[in-house]
């Protein structure tokens, strides 16, 4: 018995995974039915105990308002994250090229990387107000520094031999970037981008909670004020699924280019 459970055979792994899913769902269902619906909703649900799964289906396929919230959140995320990637990666490489500047500002970048960006949200609110762009700024702030830091670390570790060869062939700055720095730094930048996806997601919801409420953040706040647990849980599941998909996507790209890192791993 123990041997079967511990074997690495494919069907055993598949079966244990499936039973873990079923077990989790069953526990959730039982807990949901035994609590007040204002405190906890079951997964499937039924009379008097609306479930999270049916609510999620309705949200996704039959609820215009929710779909707009969802798309608004995705747009906010895409805008902020896109700006962060588009500025942090070139800046990281540029700093690696300009040694003096890099030495000068590196510790400050590290300090900002370690600063909990949520603490800056009240300032953004007070100075920039309730517009759309302050929210984008929050997402940018959350995701910018992991990308910058990792890109910089990557671009800094370009092998000196490669640089020497490029220099002895009188490579221009442009081709130095195109043929050496950008390809060499890509895997490192992707590590930063992966770290940043999670943070940007937190930034997105934080912005939607604490600045002008909108999007999925608003859906959660409103639903929790109405003690509509099924809607809260359904939205949380959706956000988590979004995060997992984004993370997996970047991870897949990262793995593809990880071989370029050579001796680092």
Partner 1 sequence: MSGTQVQSALAPGAIERGATRVLGWAADVGIGPKVLAGLAILTVWQIGVGALAPPFVAKPLNIIAVMPGVLAGREFLMATYYTLSAVFQGLAIALIAGTVIGVAMGRVKIIDRLLNFYINGFYTMPMIAVLPLLTIWFGYEDKARLATVVFAAFFSIAINARDGARSVPPEFLEVARAYRSPAYLVWFDITLFSSLPYLIAGMRLAAGRALVGAVIAEFFVSLDGLGLYILAHTRTYQHNEAVVGVLMLAAFGLAFEGAMNKITRRYFPWYRRDARG
CA distances 235 to 154, 187, 188, 238, Å, are: 37, 33, 32, 5
In the range 60-89, which residues lie near partner 1 by CB under 8 A?
Answer: none
- Supply the minimum distance, in Å, between the C-beta of residue 6 and partner 1: 5
Q: Residue 20 or residue 175: which is nearer to partner 1 going by CB?
A: 20
Q: How many angstroms separate the CA atoms of 81 and 143, rounded?
A: 7
- Supply the minimum distance, in Å, between the C-beta of residue 98 and partner 1: 11
In the range 221-260, which residues lie near partner 1 by CB under 8 A?
Answer: 221, 224, 227, 229, 232-233, 235-236, 239-240, 243-244, 247
**For residue 83, what is the DSSP state?**
H
**Concatenated DSSP letters for 179-200?**
IIIHHHHHHHHHHHHHHHHHHH
- Supply the minimum distance, in Å, between the C-beta of residue 47 and partner 1: 22
User: Among 214, 237, 191, which Cα is nearest to 75's?
Assistant: 214
Q: Is 98 in the site for partner 1 (CB under 8 A)?
A: no
241 burial (CB, 10 Å; 0-12 / 13-18 / 19+) is exposed
Q: Is 23 in the site for partner 1 (CB under 8 A)?
A: yes
Q: Is 9 in the site for partner 1 (CB under 8 A)?
A: no
Candidate segments 49-57, 77-85, 104-112, 249-257, binder of partner 1 by CB under 8 A = 104-112
Q: Cite the DSSP H helix spans in 129-181.
A: 133-156, 160-168, 173-176
Q: How many angstroms separate the CA atoms of 82 and 26, rounded?
A: 40
Candidate segments 55-63, 76-84, 167-175, 199-207, binder of partner 1 by CB under 8 A = 199-207
Q: How many angstroms separate the CA atoms of 95 and 97, rounded?
A: 5
Q: How many angstroms separate the CA atoms of 265 and 261, rounded?
A: 7
The token pair that represents 233 in the structure block: 């849980």
- Supply the minimum distance, in Å, between the C-beta of residue 122 and partner 1: 4
Compose the 143-182 pattern: x for residues touching partner 1 by CB under 8 A, - for all others.
-------------xxxxx----------------------
| Contact positions vs partner 1 (CB under 8 A) | 5-6, 13, 16-17, 19-21, 23-24, 38-40, 99-101, 103-108, 111, 114-116, 118-123, 125-127, 156-160, 191, 195, 198, 201-202, 205-206, 209-210, 216, 220-221, 224, 227, 229, 232-233, 235-236, 239-240, 243-244, 247, 263
């Amino acid at each position: 018995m123990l041997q079967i459970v511990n074997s690495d055979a494919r069907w055993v792994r598949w079966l244990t995974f499936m039973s873990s899913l079923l077990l989790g769902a069953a526990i959730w269902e039982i807990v949901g039915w035994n609590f007040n619906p204002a405190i906890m909703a079951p997964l499937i649900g039924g009379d008097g105990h609306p479930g999270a799964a049916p609510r999620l289906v309705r949200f996704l396929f039959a609820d215009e308002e929710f779909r707009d919230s969802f798309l608004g959140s995705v747009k906010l995320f895409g805008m902020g994250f896109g700006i962060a990637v588009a500025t942090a990666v070139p800046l990281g490489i540029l700093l690696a090229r300009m040694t003096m500047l890099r030495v000068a500002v590196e510790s400050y970048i590290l300090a900002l990387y370690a600063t909990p960006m949520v603490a800056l949200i009240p300032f953004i609110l007070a100075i920039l107000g309730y517009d759309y762009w302050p929210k984008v700024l929050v997402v940018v702030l959350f995701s910018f520094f992991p990308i910058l830091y990792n890109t910089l670390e990557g671009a800094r570790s370009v092998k000196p031999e490669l640089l020497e060869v490029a220099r002895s062939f009188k490579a221009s700055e442009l081709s130095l970037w195109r043929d050496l720095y950008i390809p060499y730094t890509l895997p490192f930048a992707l590590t930063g981008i992966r770290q940043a996806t999670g943070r940007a997601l937190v930034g997105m919801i934080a912005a939607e909670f604490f600045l002008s409420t909108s999007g999925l953040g608003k859906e959660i706040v409103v639903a929790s004020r109405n003690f509509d647990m099924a809607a809260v849980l359904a939205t949380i599941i959706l956000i988590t699924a979004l995060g997992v998909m984004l993370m997996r996507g970047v991870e897949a790209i990262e793995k593809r280019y990880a071989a370029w890192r050579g001796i680092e791993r």
